[in-house]
Amino acid sequence: MFILKKFGQLIVTVILVTLFASLLLELLPGDPTEVLIPSGSDQQREDLRQELKLDQSFAVRYSTWLGNFATGDMGNYYTVSSDRPVSDRLWQSLPVSLLLMFYAQMLALFFAIPFGVLTAYRKGTWFDRTSNTAAFAMLAIPNFALGFLLQYYLGVKLGWFKTGGYASPSESPIEHFQYMILPTITLAVGQIAIYMRLLRSDMIATLQQDFILMAKAKGLKSKRILFRHALRPSSLTLLTVAGLNIGTLIGGALIVEVVFALPGMGLMLFEAIGRRQIVAFQSMVAVIAILYILVNFAVDLLYTVLDPRIRNANKS
């Protein structure tokens, strides 16, 4: 029942998102084939127009794409020399983006959790105030600006990390790390601030609870009280926002990938728009929407791990 509901939600979302995205592309003026194969002959263009059903209505084009997509055909990526299936490129770029977002999320939580917990515990002290000021500063820096700054200082001037390009972890783990570290930091910085502030306010509320005083009256160490007793009940909002934030993260990843020339979904999407790859664009947007929903589904499942009371509510 739960699964069925989620599945229905998934289909509706994918349709709405792709419909909206392709309508936007539809608004661009001019003949897409001029951009797709700028040096192609009139005959080649006519063939492409036929294939893309450009002479037919938007509804027909959209439903054809949808039908193909549902059967696993994501269409072609058109270039002058040869047409490649979109799925090929997708399978190359998707892991890059997923890894980037995963690393960024982990890095953000790695800093946000201890800082959120400790600033709540030390509420009002200079440590709390300094951390909050730092968080606001981090929030205020736009992704791309931070990306350029890191690229320039740590990459170009100091030469510690690579400033653009990619190597997969199976090829060379060290190079992978060198390529990914700056994009990860760039993407994580804003999230650290958001997560830390959220956790801090929820922790402050939890620390007022009777069961925390009871844990203290048991003689437990502060570390155990904070991390074993208070953290879990305080992390539900954090989890929700982390799930919802996937949207922001995808947007951020797009920009960061462009800045660091990381061949992920963002860069590919960026290219697809520029080159009027309507079909590829629709397919990628659909994949991203599906991912987004799957992540939120995972978040729902995580809730029940974090809070046993929700587990029971779901059962009944």
Provide, rounded to whole angstroms, the least separation between the CB of residue 303 and another protein.
11
Work out which of 61, 200, 229, 276 binds another protein, going by CB under 8 A: 229
Pairing between β-strand 84-85 and β-strand 76-77 as defined by DSSP bridges: antiparallel
Work out which of 173, 211, 251, 314 binds another protein, going by CB under 8 A: 211
Residues with Cβ within 8 Å of residue 205, at least 6 apart in sequence = 234
Q: What is the three-class DSSP state of 77?
A: strand
Work out which of 139, 220, 244, 255 binds another protein, going by CB under 8 A: 220
Of residues 144, 143, 165, 160, the one with CA closest to residue 261: 165
Q: Give the count of residues interacting with another protein (CB under 8 A).
A: 24
- Residues 106-125 vs another protein: string with x where CB under 8 A? ------------------x-
| Cα separation, 85 vs 227, whole angstroms | 49
Structure tokens at 142: 């736009």
213 near another protein (CB under 8 A): yes
Provide, rounded to whole angstroms, the least separation between the CB of residue 67 and another protein.
46
| Cα separation, 85 vs 10, whole angstroms | 24
Alpha helices in 208-261 (DSSP H): 210-217, 222-224, 231-234, 236-244, 246-259
209 near another protein (CB under 8 A): yes
The DSSP symbol for 27 reads T
Helices and strands of the chain, counted as H and E runs: 16, 2
84 near another protein (CB under 8 A): no
217 near another protein (CB under 8 A): yes
237 near another protein (CB under 8 A): no
Burial label for 96, CB within 10 Å (0-12, 13-18, 19+), is buried
Using the minimum distance from each CB to another protein, give the nearer residue, 84 or 228.
228
Work out which of 46, 51, 175, 307 binds another protein, going by CB under 8 A: 307
Using the minimum distance from each CB to another protein, give the nearer residue, 149 or 310.
310
**Region of 21-29, 81-89, 131-139, 211-219 interacting with another protein (CB under 8 A):** 211-219
Interface residues with another protein (CB under 8 A) are 124, 209-211, 213-222, 224, 228-229, 232-233, 306-309, 312
